[in-house]
Structures are given as structure tokens and as C-alpha cells.
């Protein structure tokens, strides 16, 4: 799409989102739900670089039926959730997206736990972040959508 105002339509659903695109930026649209019911869309702008040699990471909770939400821990691979959470109480019912947070380059796994506990409901495979990279980790339901089985994808927002 070219820069300017317009509407983004999710084909096959009733969902239309008014957007404004700025020249020389990157924008990600994430549609989720069970068409034609319970659908929503996130519009995320991905145009800020990290400071210094750090990377930037953010989370999107697009999982339905997860209960009161999830806490998120970003840890070294093959560890367990500990310390201060990256984010708390994320929920798809409130369209939760964290802001980018600075993170040191390295290898990580993201652990999604029940809100207020360290009980893991899902964790990602290990991935590596290099300095200057921006990434978004999206949690969503595996098929069928109303199950309590989750999966994720990591979006390469910048670099």
C-alpha cells in the first residue's frame, strides 16, 4: 500500500480497520479469530530501531480461551520462568500488545504462564536476537481455536 489513509479489510469477514500509513515505515496487520465470529485485528508499526547494541522485543496475545490472561517471561533457553516477568496479565480479550522493550542480544525462549503463577501454558522454541533487531512474538491458539493448545510465531519487524 502507498502512504496515506485507507481501510484494511480482512477478506471473508466483516472486519475493516481504518489505518494511516507513513512513508518509509513498516506496518504489520495481524488478524485473528474464528471467521466470521470473534475476530479482531492488530495494527502494529515497526519503524523504531533499538538504542545502542540492544535488540527490541514485544509480545502480542492473540490467544482466545486462555482464561484470565498470561504473564510472559523471556529467559535463556531450557530454563524455567523466574525473576520479574517481561509482561503481566496479557489477554486477547483486551487486545494486549506490549511496547517494545530493550533486550540484550542473545538466545532466548519466551515462557507464557498463567497470570500470577509460574505454571507454563506454552513456551517458544529458542531464538537468537542480534543488536539492532526488532521482533514481535505472537501467542495464538493452535487448531481448533477453542482448544487450550497454543502456538506462536516470531515476526521479524526490523533488520
Segment 81-107, tens digit of pLDDT = 999 999 998 886 676 888 899 999 999
**Structural domain contains residue 1:** no
How many Cβ atoms sit within 10 Å of the Cβ of residue 154?
A: 15
Domain count, the chain: 1
Cα 41 from Cα 135, distance rounded (Å): 18
Q: Provide the CATH number for the domain around residue 127.
A: 2.60.40
**DSSP code of residue 144:** S
- The proportion of the chain whose per-residue pLDDT surpasses 90, expressed as a percent, equals 35
- The pLDDT value recorded for residue 3 is 74
Bridge partners for 29 per DSSP:
43
In a domain, residue 2? The reply is no
CA pair distance 153, 159, nearest whole angstrom: 17
The answer to whether residue 33 is domain-embedded is: no
22 domain-assigned:
no
Q: How confident is the model at residue 145 (pLDDT cuts 50, 70, 90)?
A: low
Per-residue pLDDT, 32: 62
List all residues 6 or more positions away from 37 whose beta carbon is below 8 Å from its beta carbon. none
Domain that holds residue 81: 48-158
Q: What are phi and psi of 28, to 5 degrees?
A: -115, 130
Within 10 angstroms of residue 105's Cβ, the number of other Cβ atoms is 15
Domain presence at residue 105 = yes
- What CA–CA distance (Å, rounded) separates 121 from 149? 8
Question: Is the pLDDT at 120 greater than 90, yes or no?
Answer: yes
Q: Are 68 and 21 in contact (CB under 8 A)?
A: no
**pLDDT at residue 35 above 60?**
no
Residue 95 is classified by DSSP as T
β-pair partners for 150? 141
Amino acid at each position: 500500500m502507498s502512504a496515506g489513509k485507507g481501510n484494511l479489510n480482512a477478506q471473508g469477514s466483516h472486519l475493516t480497520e481504518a489505518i494511516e500509513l507513513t512513508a518509509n515505515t513498516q506496518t504489520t496487520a495481524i488478524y485473528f479469530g474464528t471467521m466470521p465470529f470473534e475476530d479482531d485485528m492488530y495494527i502494529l508499526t515497526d519503524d523504531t530501531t533499538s538504542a545502542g547494541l540492544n535488540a527490541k522485543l514485544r509480545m502480542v496475545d492473540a490467544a482466545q480461551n486462555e482464561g484470565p490472561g498470561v504473564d510472559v517471561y523471556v529467559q535463556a533457553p531450557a530454563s524455567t520462568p523466574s525473576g520479574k516477568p517481561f509482561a503481566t496479565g496479557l489477554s486477547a480479550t483486551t487486545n494486549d500488545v506490549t511496547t517494545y522493550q530493550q533486550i540484550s542480544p542473545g538466545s532466548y525462549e519466551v515462557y507464557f504462564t498463567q497470570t500470577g503463577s509460574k505454571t507454563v501454558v506454552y513456551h517458544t522454541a529458542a531464538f537468537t536476537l542480534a543488536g539492532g533487531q526488532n521482533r514481535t512474538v505472537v501467542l495464538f491458539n493452535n487448531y481448533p481455536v477453542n482448544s487450550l493448545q497454543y502456538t506462536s510465531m516470531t515476526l521479524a519487524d526490523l533488520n
